[in-house]
């Protein structure tokens, strides 16, 4: 039994940290990045040719937190496994969001079916709205179906006064 727990507890910490990070990333994307942290995140919603954008500072903050946990593991061993989970989430984010959705790698791949297509479409629908208000789909690994997200966008658009719709339509498009 002890040998089972020896492997089970770290595995649960890693999987739990990855799951928590998807929740936290979606929450912080909606409430921080599209809120008071828009100053950094705005660069991500505007066209640009640069390899880096100010929004990448969020990845640096999350990486610094994971690194701090690795160092903290010298005093509290579970922190090591939590840091590994956060690191795994960072790798997933890099491949799913920066690579797959925004094509920030040297080749182009657009998924045609399945889970990857769902994530791709959901994040593209996130960028369908100009500016920070009225966006849908704030997660990076989990995504609602494109049909549900399109309905949310339509419902949101219908709820706006005409002047607000016209104002939103005049804003420059994101990438």
Q: Tens digit of pLDDT for each residue in 18-71? A: 999 999 999 999 999 999 999 999 999 998 888 899 999 999 999 999 999 999
C-alpha atoms less than 13 angstroms from C-alpha of 22 in its C-beta half-sphere: 16
CB 57 within 8 A of CB 126: no
Q: Is residue 123 part of a domain?
A: yes
The answer to whether residue 154 sits within a structural domain is yes
Higher pLDDT, 171 or 73: 73
CA distances from 106 to 1, 99, 128, 136, 149 (A): 48, 9, 24, 28, 29
Taking alpha carbons only, the member of 99, 97, 175 closest to residue 138 is 97
CB burial of 17-39 (b: ≥16 within 10 Å; e: otherwise) equals bbeebbeebbebbbeebbeebbe
* Cβ-contact 85, 18 below 8 angstroms: yes
List the domain range (segments joined by +) for residue 69. Answer: 2-170
Alpha helices by DSSP H, listed for the chain, are: 2-28, 38-41, 57-72, 78-93, 114-126, 146-159, 162-170
In a domain, 83, yes or no: yes
137 occurs within a structural domain: yes
* Residue 175 within a domain: no
Q: State how far the Cα of 97 lies from the Cα of 27, in Å rounded to an integer.
A: 16
pLDDT at 116: 94
State pLDDT tens for residues 128-160. 988 899 999 999 999 999 999 999 998 877 655
Number of domains in the chain: 1
CA nearest to 22, candidates 143, 140, 126, 146: 140
Structure tokens at 50: 């640069």
Q: How many residues does the chain have?
A: 175
């Amino acid at each position: 039994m002890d040998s089972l727990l020896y492997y089970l507890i770290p595995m649960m910490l890693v999987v739990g940290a990855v799951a928590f990070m998807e929740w936290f990333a979606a929450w912080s994307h909606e409430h921080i990045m599209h809120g008071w942290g828009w100053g950094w995140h705005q660069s991500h919603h505007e066209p640009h040719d640069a390899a880096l954008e100010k929004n990448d500072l969020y990845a640096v903050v999350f990486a610094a937190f994971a690194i701090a946990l690795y160092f903290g593991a010298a005093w509290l061993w579970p922190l090591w496994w939590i840091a590994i989970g956060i690191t795994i989430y960072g790798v997933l984010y890099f491949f799913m969001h920066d690579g797959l959705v925004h094509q920030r790698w040297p080749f182009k791949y657009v998924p045609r079916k399945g889970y990857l297509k769902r994530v791709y479409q959901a994040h593209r629908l996130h960028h369908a709205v100009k500016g920070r208000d009225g966006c849908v789909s704030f997660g990076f690994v989990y995504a609602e179906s494109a049909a549900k997200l399109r309905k949310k966008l339509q419902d949101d658009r219908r709820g706006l006064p005409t002047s607000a719709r016209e104002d939103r339509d005049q804003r420059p498009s994101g990438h």
